Amino acid sequence: MLSSLYTADLESALGTLDKALTVHFFAYSVFRRIAATKNKAPGFQVDLYAGHDDAIQLSERLGVPIYDSSPSKSFSWDGAGVASQTETAVLLHEFAHWQIAPPERRELVDFGLGAGPETGKKEEANSACCVDAETKEREENLASLLGILWEVELGGPAIIAFCEQNWLELYDRPGTAEHFISVLKELAERRLVDELGRPCLYPEGTKRAR
């Protein structure tokens, strides 16, 4: 949980995972960029809407439609656009889902994954779910890390989302580093991150945010 890492435990967790990843240069370099954003969140006191305008600009570059509405009143993704009245990290997470979802599921509310934590119309979103539990978990992991990498790219305090989304949970177990490597590898295989582990605007990996 986040509260358990808002102490010296955070440094211990980051140091342990740092050491575990040193044998995998690609994952290690990506992790170090995420960890470095802790300097943007001194004492974990941050404006969770900071960088929101940059995220909106990114949506235009990605081609993700957005609405000036709240997901709590409807859906995070209503099958046609993202509800933008939410925290910056959450908005980037939805953009990542849009990049990951196959075209046919972009037409479904919440990408056919069932209701997200921000979704207001949970019953409707859950009824539109059309994937199995394994697919949902895999895509949630991919969207989590990709969204975090977009926040790094935009200069935001991505360490907050990294902690909140449990990437440091059980940090002292080998499986934690292995999970990070595995998810990052799949993002690379899908060409959603480039050879440096930076998020791509397009799956072809020909463009990236500057």
Model confidence at 43, pLDDT cuts 50, 70, 90, reads confident
Domain of 103?
52-136
Query: Does 115 reside within a domain?
Result: yes
Q: Which tokens hold the place of 196?
A: 């440096």
Distance between CA 81 and CA 85 in Å, rounded? 12
Q: Name the nearest CA neighbour of 163 among 21, 28, 17.
A: 17
Q: Name the nearest CA neighbour of 193 among 113, 99, 105, 101.
A: 99
Model confidence at 9, pLDDT cuts 50, 70, 90, reads confident
- What pLDDT is recorded for position 90? 96
Query: Does 103 reside within a domain?
Result: yes
pTM tops 0.85: yes
Distance between CA 77 and CA 197 in Å, rounded? 26
Query: Does 65 reside within a domain?
Result: yes
Residues 160, 41 contacting (CB under 8 angstroms): yes
Q: Domain count for the chain, please give it.
A: 1
Query: Does 73 reside within a domain?
Result: yes
Query: Does 173 reside within a domain?
Result: no
Query: Does 98 reside within a domain?
Result: yes
Query: Does 16 reside within a domain?
Result: no
Query: Does 129 reside within a domain?
Result: yes
